[in-house]
Amino acid sequence: MHGRRLATTDRLIVLASPDCGEGLDRIREWADKHAIDVSVVDIGNDITEVYDPDAPTLGITLGGDGTFLEGIKQFTTHGIPQLGVNAGTLSFLARVETDDIEAALEEVIRGRATVDSRQQLHVDSSGLDTTGINEVTVERVPPENPFDRKVTRLEVFADDEYVGQYEGNGVAVSTPTGSTGLSLSAGGPVHMPGDNHSLQIVPLHTHRLGSRPLVMAASTEIEVVTRGQASLLVDGGRAQKVLSEESVVRITGAEEKAHVVRTSYDDQFMTAITEKLGWGLRDTSDGPRDLLADDIPPREPTFLEHARDIAIEAAESVGEPLRELHGRVEDITYKSDKSDIVTEADHRANRIITTVIENEFPDHSIFSEESEFVDGSGPYTWVIDPVDGTGNFAHGNPQYSVSIALLENDTPVLGVVYVPETDETFHAIESGDAYKGETKIVTTDRDSLDESMLLSGYDPDGGFLTHFYDQTQGVRSLGSAALNLCYLANGSADAVWEYDTYPWDVAAGLVIARAAGATVTDRYNEPYTVEFGVDERRSLLGSNGLLHPVLYDHLESSDLV
C-alpha cells in the first residue's frame, strides 16, 4: 500500500487497551477538528461491527505490543493500514509516543507517511489453521515425571528438501517482525522488518553444536514433523495446540500482508531496539554524520523535479486500489454513450490523486475528467485522467493507465503516466529527457513506412486501418491515448494516430513523447497544443519525426484530416 493513499482517510478505528484515556481524548479531539469519524473498540472485542468497507479507514492501536499484535490480526483481515501508538512500556512495534499523536496523524492525512508491508506466516496442523505476524514455535512439553525425557526431537523440511533433525527445546519459525523476540533470545539474527518478505528457522536451545539459524524466502513451504509430543504456539500463545507424536506442522508465508503505517515521529527501528534492549552499539549522540569540509551537499530539486516526484507518488498510490477493482464490469455506469463509461475506480483514484496534489500545492488549479474544476491562484494547472482506457479497465483488459500532467500558463511542462497492471511509470519534464522508471527512453529511427508499426486510437469508420495496414508492419489499437504516446516514446511503436482527443487524454503523454524525440501535430500539421474550453475533440498525429511527412501526406490524401 502506498502512503499517499492515506490522504483520503475519513474514518479512524481505535483498538484500545485499558487505561488509555489521555490518548483517546487526544485522538478524538484531533479527529473532531478534521471532521473524521472515530470508532473505539476495546481490546478483546471485534472491529467488524464498526467497519465500513466503503470508507477509507486508518486503524490505530493504543497500547503496547500486545495491542499492536491484536490490531494486526483484526485490521489485516479487512486490508486496513495500522498505526501503532505506544501507551505501554517495552514496545518494539508500536513506536509513536502519546505526545506525538496529533503530529503523526497530520502527517498521515497529508499523505506523507509511509506504509511497510509486513510478512505474516500461515500455519496448518491437526485442525489448527491460522496466521501470525511474529513466530510459530514447536517446543517440548514438560514431562510429568522428572525422570522422563526432557528434550524433543523434530525433523524439518523446506520445499520437500530435508533440512535436518533438531534435538533440544524445539524450533521457532519467525517473520522479520518476530526476529526481535523469541528468535533473538535464542541467538537468531535481527531482520529489518519493513518490506522484508522472508522467514527464518531458529533452533531453541539445541543440543547439536552445528545447528544454525536459516533464512529463506517467504514462499518456502516448511514442514516440522514431531518425533514425540510437542506444544505448538503462534505469536506467543494467541493460538496453541498440543501435538501428538508424528504430527506435521506446515508453515509458509501468508499471502495477506500486514500494512504498518510509519511516520517521522516513529522511533527508527535500530534506535528502538538499541534503547530498549540496552545494546551498546552506539552513543546516544550518534546520528547521521555531519558533512565534512570536502563533502558536496546534495543538490536541491527544482520545482518541476519536486512536482514530478509528487505526481509519480500520486499516480503509483492508486495502483493497488485500481488492481483490486480491475475488471468489475458490474460497477460500470455511462457518462454519455456506450463508449464513454465511468466506474467507481475512476472516482476513487481521482479522489486520492487530487487530495495529494491539493495537500502539496494548495495554490494550483486542478482540471480532472472526474471532478469539478479547482481554480487556484497561481499559473499552474494539473490535468488528470485517473483511468485512461476505462473501457479496457472495466472489462479486465490490462491496457489502461493513470495520466497526470502539469501545465504552466496552458503549456504542458510535466507528464507522468503510470500503468498499474505492469507497474511501469513513464515520466518527463519539458526540455528534459523521457524515462520509463529510471531508464532513459527515445523514439525509433525508422524512416520507412513499410518497416513501421503504428498505433491507432478511435477509428470510427476504419479509415486509418484501411489506408495504413497493408503499407506497414501493422496497426494496433490499445484503447488508451496516454499509453499510445508512451509506447511511441519508448520505441514500441513508430507512430500514433488519434482521430479525436480531449486534453486529459494526451497532456501527460505529449510531454513524455516530445521529450523522447517525437513530433506531435494536429490535423493541420501544426504543433499539437492543449486547449481547454473547446467542446470538440481534436485529432493528433505523433511519430518518431522521420516518418511524419509521409504519414501526414497519406492522411491528407485519404481525407482523414
pLDDT in tens, 329-374: 555 565 544 444 566 788 889 999 999 999 999 999 999 877 888 9
Q: Which residue has the higher pLDDT, 145 or 464?
A: 464
Confidence of residue 283 (pLDDT cuts 50, 70, 90): low
Please say if the pLDDT value at position 466 is more than 90. Answer: no
pLDDT of residue 289: 46
pLDDT of residue 144: 67
Please say if the pLDDT value at position 313 is more than 90. Answer: yes
The residue annotated as part of the active site, out of 65, 100, 116, 235, is: 65
Of the given ranges (123-137, 262-276, 435-449), which has the lowest mean pLDDT? 262-276
Please say if the pLDDT value at position 505 is more than 70. Answer: yes
Which grid coordinates belong to 377?
A: 491562484
8 Å CB contact between 11 and 37: yes
- Would strands 424-429 and 365-368 be described as parallel, antiparallel, or unpaired? unpaired
pLDDT of residue 212: 85
Instruction: Enumerate the domain spans of the chain.
Output: 3-115+257-277, 121-253, 303-557
Confidence of residue 324 (pLDDT cuts 50, 70, 90): confident
pLDDT of residue 147: 55
Give tens-digit pLDDT for 522-541: 988 999 998 876 556 788 99
Q: For the chain, what is the mean pLDDT?
A: 87
Q: What is the mean pLDDT of residues 185-205?
A: 88
8 Å CB contact between 305 and 406: no
pLDDT of residue 186: 85
Superfamily of domain 303-557 in CATH is Fructose-1,6-Bisphosphatase, subunit A, domain 1 (3.30.540.10)
Annotated binding-site members:
65-66, 134-135, 150, 169, 369, 385, 388, 505
Annotated binding-site members for NAD(+):
65-66, 134-135, 150, 169
From CA 230, how far away is CA 237, in angstroms rounded?
14
Map residue 519 onto helix, strand or coil.
Answer: strand
Confidence of residue 557 (pLDDT cuts 50, 70, 90): confident
Please say if the pLDDT value at position 31 is more than 70. Answer: yes
Q: What is the mean pLDDT of residues 313-342?
A: 71
Q: What is the mean pLDDT of residues 62-88?
A: 90
Q: What is the mean pLDDT of residues 536-559?
A: 86
**Amino acid present at 169:** N
Which CATH code, of 3.90.1530.10, 3.65.10.10, 2.60.200.30, 3.40.50.150, is assigned to 121-253?
Answer: 2.60.200.30
8 Å CB contact between 68 and 193: no
Of the given ranges (104-108, 205-209, 454-458, 504-508), which has the lowest mean pLDDT? 205-209
From CA 65, how far away is CA 84, in angstroms rounded?
9
8 Å CB contact between 318 and 404: no
pLDDT of residue 162: 95
Segment holding 365, helix H or strand E: strand 365-368
Confidence of residue 61 (pLDDT cuts 50, 70, 90): very high
Please say if the pLDDT value at position 267 is more than 80. Answer: no
From CA 520, how far away is CA 500, in angstroms rounded?
14
Question: Residue-wise over 441-460: b if at least 16 C-beta within 10 A, else e?
Answer: bebbebeebeebbbbbbebe
8 Å CB contact between 405 and 417: no
Highest mean pLDDT among 202-216, 325-339, 415-429, 466-480: 415-429
Please say if the pLDDT value at position 168 is more than 90. Answer: no
pLDDT of residue 276: 64
Query: Residue 62: beta bridge partners?
Result: 16, 85
Q: Does residue 65 have an active-site annotation?
A: yes
Share of the chain above pLDDT 70, in %: 88
From CA 348, how far away is CA 423, in angstroms rounded?
19
Q: What is the mean pLDDT of residues 27-50?
A: 95
Confidence of residue 208 (pLDDT cuts 50, 70, 90): low
Annotated binding-site members for Mg(2+):
369, 385, 388, 505
pLDDT of residue 338: 43
8 Å CB contact between 343 and 333: yes
Please say if the pLDDT value at position 173 is more than 60. Answer: yes
Map residue 444 onto helix, strand or coil.
Answer: coil
pLDDT of residue 95: 81
pLDDT of residue 332: 58
Give tens-digit pLDDT for 373-397: 899 988 999 999 999 998 888 888 9
Q: Which residue is listed with cell 519467525?
A: 174
Please say if the pLDDT value at position 323 is more than 80. Answer: yes
- CATH for 3-115+257-277 is 3.40.50.10330
Q: What is the mean pLDDT of residues 43-63?
A: 93
Give tens-digit pLDDT for 146-155: 655 567 889 9
Give tens-digit pLDDT for 76-87: 999 999 999 988
Confidence of residue 554 (pLDDT cuts 50, 70, 90): confident
8 Å CB contact between 507 and 415: yes
pLDDT of residue 126: 86
